[in-house]
Structure 1
Amino acid sequence: MTRSGSNSVMAEDAAAGAEVVFTSLPNGGLVTQVLDSLLDAHPQPRLYIDVSTVSVAEARELASTVRGAGSRFLDAPVSGGIAGAAAGTLAFMVGGVNEDVEEARPLLEVMGKSVTHCGDTGNGQAVKACNNMILAVHQIVLAEAMVLDERLCLEPQAFFDVVSNATGNSWALSVNAPVPGLVEGSPANHDFAPGFAAALMLKDLKLAMQAAEETATGTVLGRIAAEQYADFVDEGHGGQDFSAIINEVRAKR
């Protein structure tokens, strides 16, 4: 099993002799570049598992290329960020042939607590786009609520104790609380060093908006979230954790 880097030559060396190859790269163009290199260097049949976040169309094009070269392909994007990777609690959403998914499952379960077969190739990416659109909206509305309560003179701990045990709870609060001192391991405790960078959230939101346009789906809140993260990144905050959007909310009156 190999997790490939962005350098194609290094990837070729790392993948030599592997029956299963994992790729995890920032965008579909890089995945295509690395897989093309690997298919040329190692033409023997093998299973390729891409855990990057790319568009549905890109995932399906990659699968077609890999299968045309005599190998097999799964798209298996993840949710959970750096903290989930370190703890082995990632959630994998997998698209591809059932037999290939079952072959890959023991490997994925080493890294994650949840492995869900979502159907055909590209469906993993479809779920990932929807999931991260939800997460972005949650993080923004949580930031708005926490700033509102700050201005109403409510202590953040009291807010957390109530909402984390009430109907307003979410991963954005219970794991990624954007105020220091509430959740151990939250990026807010470390000046918003990224568990999941705002620039990556924006990339995923753009993929979700692309899918919404292609399917003529109304995504009012998703589009608002995409616009807010675009502004946040344009202002130079792309390297911060996406939960740092709370500072943008605080800056607005």
Structure 2
Amino acid sequence: MSALRRALPRLSGACRSARNQQQWAPVRHFSSSPITRANWGFVGLGQMGYPMARNLRAKVPATDSITVYDVNESATRQFAEEASSAGAGTRVTVAKSLQDVSRVSDTVITMLPQPKHVQAVYQEFIAGGLEDARPRLFIDCSTIDVKTSLEVGSSIRVLGHEFVDAPVSGGVVGASAATLTFMLGASDSIVGKAQPILEMMGKRVIHMGEPGTGIVGKLANNYLLAMSNVATAEAMGFGIKLGLDAKKLASLINCSTGKCWPSEVNNPVPGVVESAPSSREYQGGFGVSLMSKDLKLAIAAAELADAKLVLAEPARKLYEDAEAHEDCKGRDFSVVYKYLQLASK
């Protein structure tokens, strides 16, 4: 965290000041004896947010209520209908505005695509009036840049509320199965309140440190994932072109030192791993545009600390080029394998 503070002294100072000024009195304590009638808010019912919100709804007490919001009205309608068809249980309300969410909720979880969306949503929360006596906990699970996360967190804390960054790893499959890993950036005093909430939507919660460090952890992980995906695509590509059977090559890699998640679980060569997006025309999974975004965010984070990333620029260009290609855009990020094959013709 020291490097982060040196890189962003004003923002970090604002975060510390806001944290020291507030008197945090949680509305609900998480223990073996659940307290009823907690109000939850969830904003962002996309590919990741929808199953996360579904798991949250399934695990909170039936006496609780969940208010959901998304710009895609069909997603919120489907969520409410799904809850209704499930019968008795947690009440679901579709909010007409973001301000409706922040007004009624004790805990608000956001899962949004980009920094600009996070900024816009939290500006609406603040505009809706957060200066009453009821403190709230805001949990942002979006993958955004460090600067934006710290700015948003500071703007929430000065009003007497708490904000933590908790980006996730595990993809759509992990979100659906509630096996996500959350990288939590929060002060020690808030960890005990945030962790039980996150555990309702995932399997692991790793406290990375103070606010902002959850984002740093996620970006470092995704930078490595971006690189290993490219390396796997290249290694598989030249091995196959030199006559190796794709499945045998993957089998070799996966019991040797080259083993990694892109080779074992998300292999980019069609037919090698039947459950991988590559075996269904690269549909589903983690979009190439999202990996391109995360890679840019990782590069920006490294620049804050003046950390040199030797492989970053060529990888960034490769993902951007794949994203722009007609036969690759909108597909899983492993589609870089297909792009490399197309580019070599």
Q: Distance in 2 between matches of 1:206 and 1:38?
A: 27
Which stretch of the first structure deviates more once superposed, 1-10 or 187-196? 1-10
Q: In the alignment, residue 38 of structure 1 is paired with which amino acid?
A: F
**Aligned residue in 1 for 2:163:** 73
Q: Distance in 2 between matches of 1:126 and 1:133?
A: 10
Q: In the alignment, residue 112 of structure 2 is paired with which amino acid?
A: L
Please report how far the alpha carbon of residue 242 of structure 1 lies from its aligned counterpart in structure 2 after TM superposition. 0.4
Number of aligned residue pairs: give it: 253
Q: In the alignment, residue 4 of structure 1 is paired with which amino acid?
A: V
For 1:181, what is the secondary structure of its paired residue? coil
**Aligned residue in 2 for 1:249:** 340
For 2:104, what is the secondary structure of its paired residue? coil
Query: CA offsets per residue over residues 132-173 of structure 1, 9 Å max, x none?
Result: 111011000100111112112211111122211211111112
Please report how far the alpha carbon of residue 179 of structure 1 lies from its aligned counterpart in structure 2 after TM superposition. 2.0
Matched, 1:21 2:108: yes
Residues 1:110 and 1:183: Cα distance change in structure 2 (over 3 Å)? farther
Q: In the alignment, residue 192 of structure 1 is paired with which amino acid?
A: Y
Residues 1:163 and 1:222: Cα distance change in structure 2 (over 3 Å)? same
Matched, 1:2 2:93: no
Please report how far the alpha carbon of residue 9 of structure 1 lies from its aligned counterpart in structure 2 after TM superposition. 4.3
**Aligned residue in 2 for 1:32:** 119
Contact 1:194-1:242 at 8 Å conserved across structures: no
Contact 1:23-1:51 at 8 Å conserved across structures: yes
For 1:193, what is the secondary structure of its paired residue? coil
Matched, 1:231 2:318: no
Q: In the alignment, residue 194 of structure 1 is paired with which amino acid?
A: G
**Aligned residue in 2 for 1:88:** 178
Matched, 1:161 2:251: yes
Contact 2:322-2:335 at 8 Å conserved across structures: no
Which stretch of the first structure deviates more once superposed, 158-167 or 230-239? 230-239
Query: CA offsets per residue over residues 32-90 of structure 1, 9 Å max, x none?
Result: 21122223335231000000011111110011001012110000111111111112111
Q: Distance in 2 between matches of 1:69 and 1:80?
A: 33
Please report how far the alpha carbon of residue 18 of structure 1 lies from its aligned counterpart in structure 2 after TM superposition. 2.2
Higher-Rg member (1/2): 2
- Residues 1-253 of structure 1: pairs in structure 2 closer than 5 A: 1-5=40-44, 6-7=70-71, 9-41=96-128, 43=130, 44-236=134-326, 237-253=328-344
TM-score calculated relative to the size of structure 1? 0.93
Q: Distance in 2 between matches of 1:197 and 1:72?
A: 31
Q: In the alignment, residue 205 of structure 1 is paired with which amino acid?
A: L
Residues 1:166 and 1:42: Cα distance change in structure 2 (over 3 Å)? farther
Residues 1:69 and 1:143: Cα distance change in structure 2 (over 3 Å)? same
Q: What residue ranges of structure 1 are gaps of 5+ in the alignment?
A: none
Please report how far the alpha carbon of residue 127 of structure 1 lies from its aligned counterpart in structure 2 after TM superposition. 1.2
Q: Distance in 1 between matches of 2:272 and 2:178?
A: 22
Contact 2:102-2:128 at 8 Å conserved across structures: no
TM-score calculated relative to the size of structure 2? 0.69
Query: CA offsets per residue over residues 189-217 of structure 1, 9 Å max, x none?
Result: 22111311111111111111112223222
Which stretch of the first structure deviates more once superposed, 173-182 or 48-57? 173-182
Which stretch of the first structure deviates more once superposed, 142-151 or 226-235? 226-235
Using the aligned pairs only, state the percent identity: 37
Which stretch of the first structure deviates more once superposed, 79-88 or 227-236? 227-236
